[in-house]
Structure 1
Amino acid sequence: MMLRRLIHQNPELAFEEHNTQKLIIEFAHGLGLNNIVTVGTGVLVLVGRNKDEPFVVLRAELDALPIPEETDYPFRSKNENMHACGHDFHIAAACWAMRRIVQEKRKGNFLFVFQPAEESGAGAKTIVEHILRWDCEVKAAIAMHVADEYPMGIVASRSGSLFSASCEVNVRVLGRSAHVANHQLGKDALRGCVAFLNQIYGRDWKEDLVWFGRILAGHVRNTVAGEALIEGTVRASDSKGVQDILVALQEIAKKVEEETELKVSVIPGAEYPEVKVDEKLLDVLRVVSQRNGFEFIECERKLTAEDFGYFSKHFPSLMFWFGVRHGSRVEGLHSSKFLPPDELIPVAGNLLTHLLDSIG
């Protein structure tokens, strides 16, 4: 628990997790572990035989968020950042499991991955690329995420897509600027944005999502906007669904061009693959959870994106929610008051230990 408190007091943003990395390496060395690899600010700790044999991966994230903390925790953040997504808890629970596996000499080959930049930099992509260069077999990749959406004692997951595939998308509209007094000489890019968005929000995207949250257009109030940019995101159950939506957006753009004589371009950006839960690994989770006094429930797919999808793209994977709510109040992830209690760290750590033991 002391490790959690130190990390919680000194939260570091994506790719800046230098002190967090140092604390984890010191913890691993304290267990007599020396097979440690650093990847940027990330840490990979191999526990078991050697990396040439199949192993099970356990992922925990390192980065915090630029959110000032508003809890009464005695070990609250000392800076303007906060572990408002529970990553400090994930690290502590993973280290608890690591210690048990080492001290109890449990059989298996395990790779503990402490990954930077989950929140904003797709840090998983770099870590996975590093693992793939080893040219070794991964039996399974596992990740846990705390949530006060669920009460203590609940473990939740589902087979198939748990977190959505996502893609950032920009739409650029080019027209011709003119003074409003001579607006007939211009081509209004802002009007093209309205036409495009009306098409978007007038369509039923079923269980998927297309959303635009920002518009940049024109320069001053008394001119026709000569250009505009709409920034948004696409969410779907899998990467194919994302590509299908991008094709649909291109078709909408072409239709708006024909109607308005504007130039409308759809520009895809950063893309995250979906987090896919392997059905066999889910069965193991269900059995291990119930055997250790947890209630397992099937949950719905989230529209949020998670870069653990880079793991599930390449390896059989399992990700699950670990309930941390006490009482009825829900703060929610990324809240300045979100704080999973210390006393649940050994509970989560023991669950991870049994899960690794059962798979490894």
Structure 2
Amino acid sequence: MDEIELRHILHMNPELSFKEYRTKETLRKAVIEIGYEKIIEVAGTGLVIEKKETEDPYVVLRADMDALPIKEETGWEFASRNEYMHACGHDFHMSALYGAMKRLRNVKKNFLFVFQPAEETGGGAKEVVDFLKDKYEIKAAVGFHVTDEYDAGTVASRPGVLFASATEFDVYFKGVPAHVAFAEKGKDALKAAVSFLGWLYNKKWNALVGVGKISGGRARNIVPDEIKLEGTIRSEALRITEEVISNMVKQLGELKEEMGVDFAVERGSVYPEVKVDQNLFETLRETCQRLGFSFVECDMKWTGEDFGYFSQVFPSLLFWFGVGEGERFGLHHPRFLPNDRYIPMAADLLAELAMVI
């Protein structure tokens, strides 16, 4: 099976985070067919394929596996056959890594090929890293992400923080219900939430802070006693995020004293910032120039990526792999569909990087 055939199978059968059972078995069968034997299950639905040839440290190549709860609208011959979609390009990532594995089969170096589940929920990388760090000596970890922001044939990265840390947060407001005709008998959770949002959006943050969803209330004529805000914080470092949350809790405490509405703050998924090692960045630049890719040193992106868990522990390299051509839709769009023909190019780049690192 070549990498494009594998991409078609994976794209037609997308699975959500930590439910990548068919994906795992498809990958297992494919890597066995090309001669890899030491296959280790990790994080429930992930795979680590070990290639040990010497006593040297390992180079990790990582691809994420999970899809999104998005209904595909591409009309492609190999479109998803269920209600989910590889709208973030993870099918491309897995197929390119598989292609790199074929190219590296006879190279006398130590590699760990990681098919990682649950990138979209932020939990998969942490479990994989917890497994790897105590078992292997690792020289470098390498990953990439497709995007149509950059033209096809363009690679982009930067030393230092490439992707911001991303933390989901929920704020719960708990008041007392009452008929609006007797509103003084209630405690209005919605009014407290609105006051909090006004404070949140008028404060200058050293971060990107936003709320994307509000839910709650019982009926149009009842003082709302339960409101939930769902938001995200993007920052250059998790310590900045902690400062934001601390400020939020302080403000909520003041609102509680003023309005009598109780509150709770909960964190959802947490993505540490992705940090690119300076030496690995220079290796990427030189390799791209040698292979004929256009190379861009980009700005930090507010995108979240749980590869940050790798970069907290190992010298790491992550880069954008441009696939833009014609109309561009962006990641997580029901019509996002990188062209097959760029998969071998990505596989070539991954393999070359693995050999020279």
Specify if TM > 0.5: yes
TM-score, length-normalised on structure 2? 0.94
In 2, distance between residues paired with 1:70 and 1:215? 28
Are 1:141 and 1:311, in contact at CA under 8 Å, matched by a contact in 2?
A: yes
Pick from 352, 355, 358 the counterpart of residue 356 of structure 2: 358
Alignment partner, residue 151 of structure 2:
151
Tell me by how many angstroms 1:333 deviates. Answer: 1.0
Tell me by how many angstroms 1:127 deviates. Answer: 1.1
What letter is aligned with 2:72? E
Identity %: 47
Map Cα deviations across residues 241-273 of structure 1 (whole Å, 9 max, x no partner).
Answer: 111111111222123233323333333333221
Alignment partner, residue 219 of structure 1:
218
What letter is aligned with 2:298? C
- 1:22-101 map, 5 Å: 22-39=25-42, 40-49=44-53, 53-101=56-104
| Alignment coverage as a number of residue pairs | 353
Tell me by how many angstroms 1:3 deviates. Answer: 1.1
Alignment partner, residue 199 of structure 2:
199
In 2, distance between residues paired with 1:172 and 1:301? 32
Tell me by how many angstroms 1:53 deviates. Answer: 4.4
2:162 maps to 1:162: yes
2:249 maps to 1:250: yes
Pick from 334, 337, 340 the counterpart of residue 336 of structure 1: 334
What letter is aligned with 1:358? V
Alignment partner, residue 285 of structure 1:
284
In 1, distance between residues paired with 2:352 and 2:304? 27
1:84 is paired with a residue whose SS is coil
What letter is aligned with 1:80? E
In 2, distance between residues paired with 1:242 and 1:121? 16
In 2, distance between residues paired with 1:86 and 1:38? 23
In 2, distance between residues paired with 1:256 and 1:274? 31
1:223 is paired with a residue whose SS is coil
Are 1:14 and 1:121, in contact at CA under 8 Å, matched by a contact in 2?
A: no
Closer, same or farther: CA 63–268 of 1 in aligned 2, 3 Å: closer
In 2, distance between residues paired with 1:127 and 1:3? 23
Tell me by how many angstroms 1:63 deviates. Answer: 1.4
Tell me by how many angstroms 1:91 deviates. Answer: 1.0
1:15 is paired with a residue whose SS is coil
In 1, distance between residues paired with 2:320 and 2:88? 12
Tell me by how many angstroms 1:173 deviates. Answer: 2.1
Tell me by how many angstroms 1:19 deviates. Answer: 2.1
- 1:231-250 map, 5 Å: 231-250=230-249
Closer, same or farther: CA 317–193 of 1 in aligned 2, 3 Å: same
In 1, distance between residues paired with 2:155 and 2:46? 27
Map Cα deviations across residues 89-144 of structure 1 (whole Å, 9 max, x no partner).
Answer: 11111111111111xx223211000011112352111111111231x211111111
Pick from 325, 336, 343 the counterpart of residue 345 of structure 1: 343
Map Cα deviations across residues 283-327 of structure 1 (whole Å, 9 max, x no partner).
Answer: 111111111101111112222211111111111111000011123
In 2, distance between residues paired with 1:140 and 1:20? 26
Are 1:3 and 1:92, in contact at CA under 8 Å, matched by a contact in 2?
A: yes
Are 1:256 and 1:264, in contact at CA under 8 Å, matched by a contact in 2?
A: no
Map Cα deviations across residues 20-74 of structure 1 (whole Å, 9 max, x no partner).
Answer: 2122212221222211101221111112327x74101111111122222222432
2:129 maps to 1:128: yes
Are 1:281 and 1:318, in contact at CA under 8 Å, matched by a contact in 2?
A: yes
TM-score, length-normalised on structure 1? 0.93
In 2, distance between residues paired with 1:251 and 1:305? 26
Alignment partner, residue 20 of structure 1:
23
In 2, distance between residues paired with 1:9 and 1:223? 47
What letter is aligned with 1:230? L
In 1, distance between residues paired with 2:285 and 2:231? 37
What letter is aligned with 1:47? K
What letter is aligned with 1:119? E
In 1, distance between residues paired with 2:340 and 2:213? 39
2:104 is paired with a residue whose SS is helix
Q: What is the RMSD computed on CA atoms of the aligned residues?
A: 1.7
What letter is aligned with 1:344? Y
Are 1:235 and 1:303, in contact at CA under 8 Å, matched by a contact in 2?
A: yes
In 2, distance between residues paired with 1:309 and 1:138? 16
Larger deviation: 220-229 or 230-239? 220-229
Give unmatched runs, 5+ long, in structure 1.
none
In 2, distance between residues paired with 1:133 and 1:53? 16
In 1, distance between residues paired with 2:78 and 2:192? 52
What letter is aligned with 2:70? I
Are 2:123 and 2:269, in contact at CA under 8 Å, matched by a contact in 1?
A: no
Are 2:122 and 2:269, in contact at CA under 8 Å, matched by a contact in 1?
A: no
Larger deviation: 26-35 or 255-264? 255-264
2:323 is paired with a residue whose SS is strand
In 2, distance between residues paired with 1:180 and 1:75? 54
